[in-house]
Amino acid sequence: MTDFEGLVAVVTGGASGIGLATATLLSSRGATAVALDLHPDVPDPLVGIRADVSDDASVQAAVDEVVQRFGRLDVVVNNAGIGAQGDISANSDEEWLKVLNVNVLGITRVSRAALPHLRRSPAAAIVNTGSIAAWAGLPQRALYSATKGAVHALTLAMAADHVREGIRVNAVAPGTADTPWVGRLLDSAPDPAAERAALNARQPHGRLVSADEVAGAIAYLASPLSGSTAGTVLAVDGGMHGL
Ligand code: NAD
């Protein structure tokens, strides 16, 4: 693993789950790691800045603050996301637009604000968090899956647009990962322990993906170790997508 000494990284949704694990890993490898989050309480030495990726002014102000405080921006991890349950009839148009606004436009907003700074970095990388939901045809996840399919497609398009200016764009596609998000879903089941055991058993490798494993893939795609990789969506799912 290469190090991120002297680099500045922002991680949206960086105060919980995969985002927190990613910010922690990048920080441990030398980056100044900034969590942009609705609830930006993060442990030292991480930096938390409040930002709502569904609001353009909030995103611009947060990116401006990062560059003002730390002088540069090298790595953007577009990880903030929200879920939705049900088939296509379950959610109103307003709900569709709300989730699209966070999961897809959140990426374009943060990336757009970051681009002028990334163009000045010798180590510029954007990593988006997609999902196995884009590939697996999960039941009762129509809206969420559609947004993550858009994230994967957007990743390829962004890579094509920006690789020639030295900005690599890639994505990870986690399987079911052991984060507070999934913990909340399990806790709402009648028997959370039994539900967790069943969920573990459904994974090809017999357990949930860890947030640290997704963070490792993100850090790889953000680092020069993947210097010739652009427009890739890296599965971190125990092989689930191949089944
Ligand atoms: P999490 O709920 O633990 O963390 C998400 C973080 O995003 C929270 O800190 C939350 O405050 C923040 N956030 C939400 N909306 C925001 C907004 N509008 N602006 C800024 N921050 C916002 O979730 P997680 O499980 O770590 O998921 C992180 C990403 O990974 C999401 O994009 C999710 O879709 C994706 N993912 C998760 C799993 C899984 O099984 N956990 C699987 C595949 C993909």
Complex ipTM value: 0.99
Please report which confidence band the pLDDT of residue 178 belongs to, taking 50, 70 and 90 as the band edges: very high
Assess whether pLDDT exceeds 90 at residue 7.
yes
Q: Exposure string (b/e) for 71-88, b if CB count within 10 Å is 16 or more? A: eebbbbbbbbbbbbeeee
Is 84 near ligand 1, meaning CB less than 6 Å away? no
What is the predicted pLDDT for the residue at 85?
A: 94
What is the predicted pLDDT for the residue at 3?
A: 87
CA proximity to 231, closest of 167, 176, 135: 167
Whether 144 sits among the annotated catalytic residues: the reply is yes
What is the predicted pLDDT for the residue at 243?
A: 80
Quote the ligand 1 centre to 62 CA distance (angstroms): 18
* Cis check: omega of the bond before 190, within 30 degrees of 0: no
What is the predicted pLDDT for the residue at 32?
A: 98
SS3 for 233? strand
Residue located nearest, by CA, to atom 24 of ligand 1: 17
Quote the ligand 1 centre to 164 CA distance (angstroms): 30
The rounded percent of the chain whose pLDDT value lies above 90 is 97
Mean pLDDT over 182-188 rounds to 94
Where in the chain are the domains? 8-177+211-236
Closest ligand 1 atom to Cα of 13: 7
Euclidean distance between CA atoms 210 and 214, whole angstroms:
7
Mean pLDDT over 209-230 rounds to 98
pTM of structure: 0.98
Assess whether pLDDT exceeds 70 at residue 20.
yes
DSSP run (H or E) holding 174:
strand 168-174
Catalytic residue, from 144, 219, 222, 223: name it: 144
- Considering the chain, what is the average pLDDT of its residues? 97
Quote the ligand 1 centre to 4 CA distance (angstroms): 23
SS3 for 50? strand
Euclidean distance between CA atoms 198 and 161, whole angstroms:
42
Q: Output the CA–CA distances (angstroms, integers) from residue 22 to 128, 129, 159, in the order listed.
A: 12, 11, 21
CA proximity to 12, closest of 121, 95, 103: 103
At 14, list the tokens: 């960086």
Is 104 near ligand 1, meaning CB less than 6 Å away? no
What is the predicted pLDDT for the residue at 2?
A: 55
Mean pLDDT over 166-192 rounds to 96
Mean pLDDT over 66-86 rounds to 98
Q: If one looks up domain 8-177+211-236 in CATH, what number appears? A: 3.40.50.720
Is 129 near ligand 1, meaning CB less than 6 Å away? yes
Mean pLDDT over 184-211 rounds to 95
Quote the ligand 1 centre to 81 CA distance (angstroms): 4
Mean pLDDT over 120-127 rounds to 98
